[in-house]
Amino acid sequence: MPSSRFPIPQGTLDMLVLQILSLEPAHGYGIAQRLEQISNSVVQVNQGSLYPALHRLEEKGWVKAKWQPSETGREAKFYALTAAGRKQLEAERESWAKLTSAVQLIFDEGGSR
Amino acid sequence: MKKFLNWFRQSRMDGELDRELQYHFERRVGDLVSQGMGEGEARGQVNREMGGLTQVREEVRDVWLTRWLRDFVYDLRHSARDFVRNPTFTATVVLSLALGIGATTALYSLVDQVFLHSLPVRDAQRLVLFDWTGERVYGGFGSYNILPYPWCADLKQQERYFEGVFCRAALTVHLATGANASPAAAEIVSGSYFPVLGVLPAMGRLIGESDEGLTGASPIVVVSHEFWQVELGGAQDVVGRKLMVNGKPMTIAGVAAEGFRGIDVGEVPKLWIPSAMASYALPPAMPNDVTRERTVRWVQILGRLREGVRLEEAQAALRPWFRRMLEEDTKLANFPKITAERRERFLASQMELSPAPQGHSRMHRTMTQPLWMLFGATGVLLALACLNVAGLFLARGFSRGREIQTRFALGASRGRIARQLFADSTLLALAGGLLGIALAPLVIEGLIAFLPQNAAGTALRSAVDARLLSFAFGVSLVTGLLAGFAPALQAGRGAALASMRERGGSGGGGMRLRRGIVTAQIALTLVLLIGAALFARSLGELLAKGPGFETASLVAFGIDPQKSGYSKDAANRMIAGLQEKLGGVPGVSAGGMATYALLNGGSWNNPMTIQGKTRFTTEGVAHLNAVSPGFFAVLGARIVAGRDFEDRDRRAGGESRQKVAVVNEAFAKKYLAGQNPLGVLVGVGSGTNVRPDFQVVGVVSDVRYRSMREDSEQVYFPVTEDSYFLGANFYLKVRGNPEAVVAGVRQLIREADPAMPPTYFRTLEEQVKRSLSMERMLATLTAGFAVLALLLSLVGLYGVMSYSVTQRTKEIGIRMALGATRGSAVWMVLRDALVMIAAGIAIALPFVWGLGKYVEAQLYAVKATDPLTIGAATLVLCSAAALAAIVPARDASAVDPGEALRGD
């Protein structure tokens, strides 16, 4: 149901990718599939925009890439989190938590009136 | 910019990205198909999901580009900090580049303005110029590509090939808006001129087809936008106003569009005159209705090719018409009387077309070769500067070797370091380019001042426009890349070597590259030096030979009474009166007069018919002039045989009186050898009907007439009442300060008639200087370039030599410890320099040989391969180079063996 899914907020895609990669290294298609599953088909990710994000993360040194055989036997480019990436993920998780709780607080106040 | 940056992107990255995306695509399609979707449908859906593969690819590339740019900016900052820390290095590099770029940009500006820039008219690319090649029997007025006016209308009939055809003649008129007249450039044009060019009026109307054929009855002019703004104050009511053109009233019909400056970049007209009124502006010797005269050449004809018609096609198509027309011409009553053989050649002559998107300009002809040559010289200078900077970078690269090695060790890629070096050189080149552009207008102004034509009368500008900016920017960028190329190459290769070689080795690949650079510099410098020496010798020869007369304390000025509306009688009275009064001006000791001026590029010339022992006509033309008695004496020309003109010769050939002529030595030698020249009869023209009835009464020593270069055969006639009307050039011998005399004479002319301005006023020294301006420009500029080139390459040589000595200190020390003499140490270093110098010379000489034919036309009394000049230039180079090498060599001899061995 595309209409019931909302587009992913700007900037959160990078964070989600880091989160997925924190579990285990994966290739682009694997990440896309996991994104679908994790977000329970609520968040709509344009699969195309995944790749600029991956390369951006690679430029920043948060992930590193390696070509290796995939589960189908074909070579695929696998991305893995670096130490810097792990740190970044922690930082983002924290600030995300802060942000959501702050937003929640505002909504709660508004509702109690 | 993006394209340029993309160039750097490695294709390997592209390939990997494609593989990565392909993997995703196929996996997804496979999954969908296994879920029961048709293959085609699945592909469509995946494409939609991914938002188009091309799109994704572009987005990923943007990510890369951003990184590249970020890193490059970082590199630039790094470079900038580095340069601030090394001010001497930075200043040397920026200055050498500014020099090269500034000079090249300035020359390019002139090259562009004089012969690359198309006219600012509609579709200038389709404009062509008509020319007549072969035996052009008709005489005429004007210079270059002149044709009879009626041809214009004939060519208009060839509608299949030409959209339109127009003709024009450039000349100078006396123009007065108030009481005082002054000389102004004007163009006589056919009614088709403005329509074919596609020029519109800014106000009023332009000259059109309706003005055609109204001989003498259409006294209107069109003025240029600039003239309207500057000299008429931009007044709104100028249409209908009267101007005095050559003393005759003409009405302003309109103002031409802004920015249109005629079709000659060398002579910008202030006004346009319809051909019907040509007689107002042309010399009185021309026939009454020149627009109908088929045997007088005086206009340039240009046309616009029809869309899709090729020039060769049109030229071939004109052949039958042209031949028919020439045949018709021979039946005309006023067709010149010529021999049957000449008539054959006349009928075999051709009409030729050439592309004319830049219009027609005398300047194209005279300046093309010199300007290209100078442009080439600046290119060489730029290459030298570039090589120097490359050498400096190499030297610095080695002194920074440790830093670079460290960065390699830390994992920086080769490309990363090469980019750093590129950033360095680009930054410096742009800085040099900026400085160069700042210098360029000054240089251009200097160049324009050097030009033979009066700069005020030309459209040449020193302003830097967008075109020039982009040229300079491009040159700077290319320079930067080239200068950075060598060090970058070295960085890529040197890394592996450097880490393995121990320090203090005797110079590896870097040295070889630097030696190569110095050798190339020496070769380029020698080419410039030889060029400069050739031009200097040419100028020297011309100056040494001189004009054939005394220039000291001679002042010349001209008047043109006809252009001030004088009738023949009035002109005679005016000139006679002036002549009388001139003797009374304080400081004037003697005076003479000639109809045509000396050394201003033009002459009255014609073949001559000679009646000596036999009757014959001269092969080429003789240069003719009418002069007053005493003219030769004022110039200091000697009468070597016979006599000067006398007052009694002045009367225009009365019935009984013998008409007389004086010939110069060159004429006597070429045509009257083996007989007494005195008493021989000569006549003007080569027709069978010419009567040789001027008796040679004297032979005068040779003087330069048209130009300083030309030794010509000359014939002089006495001035007569008829010739006065053509104008007069006075030559005055003055005592004391010429300035005071000039003021006195000007006053005299003003009193005689304020509406008749002198056409020029200058000392003969100035005149000679003007006549040699092209030679002077070439000699001065090439000498300047050569000196700069020499300095640049000596700096390069010195740098390499002293570096090599420091590198080899240990080796030299060991040799000395083993008993080598100081002399042999010096020799060891000098030998190195000599090899480079010798190789440079060996490379340069074949080039000099090959380039010689391009400069030959600009030389005088010296061949391009003159061994003496080449030898002298080589000697200068060698001694300067030896000087630059001797300092490092002395350092080598001063090496203390003990010190050197302990050193490490």
Asked if pLDDT for residue A97 goes beyond 90, the answer is no
Q: What is the mean pLDDT of chain B?
A: 85
Q: Which of B750, B738, B693, B687 is nearest to B717 (CA)?
A: B693
A48, A56, A59 member nearest B50 (Cβ): A48
Instruction: Count CA atoms within 13 Å of residue B218 on its CB side.
Output: 24
Cα–Cα–Cα angle for B603, B608, B613, nearest 5°? 145
pLDDT value, residue B620: 83
A-chain residues within 8 Å CB-CB of B53? Answer: 48
The structure tokens listed for B182 are: 């002054």
| Side chain identity at residue B420, one-letter code | Q
A-chain residues within 8 Å CB-CB of B52? Answer: 48
pLDDT value, residue B491: 62
Cα separation, B605 vs B621, in Å, equals: 6
pLDDT value, residue B429: 86
pLDDT value, residue B8: 47
Q: Is the ipTM of this complex over 0.95?
A: no
Give the residue numbers in A contacting B (CB under 8 Å), as ranges.
27-29, 32, 46-49, 51-52, 55-56, 59, 70, 72, 74-77
Asked if pLDDT for residue B111 goes beyond 70, the answer is yes
Decide which of B763 and A37 is more confident: B763
Place of tokens 């490379």: B843
Span B758-785, mean pLDDT? 88
- Cβ contact A48–B16 (<8 Å): no
B10 touches chain A (CB under 8 A): no
A28, A49, A59 member nearest B67 (Cβ): A59
- Cβ contact A52–B63 (<8 Å): yes
Q: Which helix (H) or strand (E) holds B185?
A: strand B181-189
Digit-coded pLDDT (tens) for B249-266: 999 999 999 989 899 887
B18 touches chain A (CB under 8 A): no
Q: Which of B16, B413, B66 is nearest to A66 (CA)?
A: B16
pLDDT value, residue B150: 95
pLDDT value, residue B6: 46
- Cβ contact B27–A29 (<8 Å): yes
Determine the distance in angstroms separating the CA of A19 from the nearest CA of chain B, rounded to an integer. Answer: 20
CB B809 within 8 A of CB B900: yes
Give every CB contact of residue A40 below 8 A, 6+ residues apart in sequence: none
B407 touches chain A (CB under 8 A): no
Decide which of B88 and B175 is more confident: B175
Asked if pLDDT for residue B613 goes beyond 90, the answer is no
Digit-coded pLDDT (tens) for B271-298: 999 999 998 888 877 887 888 899 999 9
Digit-coded pLDDT (tens) for B345-389: 999 999 999 999 988 887 777 788 888 899 999 999 999 988 888
Decide which of B191 and A39 is more confident: B191
Determine the distance in angstroms separating the CA of B50 from the nearest CA of chain A, rounded to an integer. Answer: 4
B-chain residues within 8 Å CB-CB of A28? Answer: 20-21, 23-24
pLDDT value, residue A43: 64
Asked if pLDDT for residue B443 goes beyond 60, the answer is yes
Decide which of B225 and B364 is more confident: B225
- Cβ contact B59–A72 (<8 Å): no
CB B583 within 8 A of CB B721: no
A-chain residues within 8 Å CB-CB of B50? Answer: 46-48
- Cβ contact A59–B16 (<8 Å): no
CB atoms within 10 A of CB B147: 23
Query: Residue B133: pLDDT band by 50, 70, 90 thresholds?
Result: very high
B23, B50, B63 member nearest A56 (Cβ): B63
The structure tokens listed for B515 are: 């030696």
Digit-coded pLDDT (tens) for B36-49: 888 888 888 888 87
CB B713 within 8 A of CB B618: yes
**B469 phi/psi in degrees, rounded to 5:** -60, -45
B-chain residues within 8 Å CB-CB of A60? Answer: none
- Cβ contact A52–B64 (<8 Å): no
The structure tokens listed for B371 are: 């300007």
Asked if pLDDT for residue B496 goes beyond 60, the answer is no
Give every CB contact of residue B29 below 8 A, 6+ residues apart in sequence: B39, B42, B43, B46
Determine the distance in angstroms separating the CA of B435 from the nearest CA of chain A, rounded to an integer. Answer: 37
The structure tokens listed for B180 are: 């005082």
The alpha-carbon radius of gyration of chain B (Å, integer) is 36
pLDDT value, residue B398: 62
Nearest CA in chain B to A47: B50
- Cβ contact A72–B27 (<8 Å): yes
Span B617-622, mean pLDDT? 87
Digit-coded pLDDT (tens) for B508-563: 556 788 888 889 999 999 999 999 999 999 999 999 988 988 888 899 999 888 88
A-chain residues within 8 Å CB-CB of B59? Answer: 48-49, 51-52
* Bridge partners for B588 per DSSP: B734
- Cβ contact A52–B16 (<8 Å): no
pLDDT value, residue B660: 92
Q: In chain B, how many H helices and how many E strands? A: 26, 23
pLDDT value, residue B404: 67
Asked if pLDDT for residue A8 goes beyond 80, the answer is no
- Cβ contact B59–A28 (<8 Å): no
Decide which of B391 and B293 is more confident: B293
Query: Residue B672: pLDDT band by 50, 70, 90 thresholds?
Result: very high
Digit-coded pLDDT (tens) for B446-464: 888 777 655 445 677 777 8
Cα separation, B255 vs B20, in Å, equals: 68
A-chain residues within 8 Å CB-CB of B24? Answer: 27-29, 32, 47, 51
Cα separation, B187 vs B190, in Å, equals: 10
Asked if pLDDT for residue B112 goes beyond 50, the answer is yes
The structure tokens listed for A38 are: 């994790």
Asked if pLDDT for residue B504 goes beyond 50, the answer is no
- Cβ contact A55–B64 (<8 Å): yes
CB B279 within 8 A of CB B291: no
B9 touches chain A (CB under 8 A): no
Asked if pLDDT for residue B3 goes beyond 60, the answer is no
Asked if pLDDT for residue B591 goes beyond 80, the answer is yes
Span B727-746, mean pLDDT? 89
Cα separation, B851 vs B342, in Å, equals: 38
Determine the distance in angstroms separating the CA of B28 from the nearest CA of chain A, rounded to an integer. Answer: 8
Span A59-73, mean pLDDT? 85
Digit-coded pLDDT (tens) for B699-728: 999 999 988 888 899 999 998 777 666 788
Asked if pLDDT for residue B201 goes beyond 50, the answer is yes
B56 touches chain A (CB under 8 A): yes
Chain centroid offset of residue B603 CA:
24
- Cβ contact B55–A48 (<8 Å): yes
pLDDT value, residue B537: 94
* Bridge partners for B615 per DSSP: B611
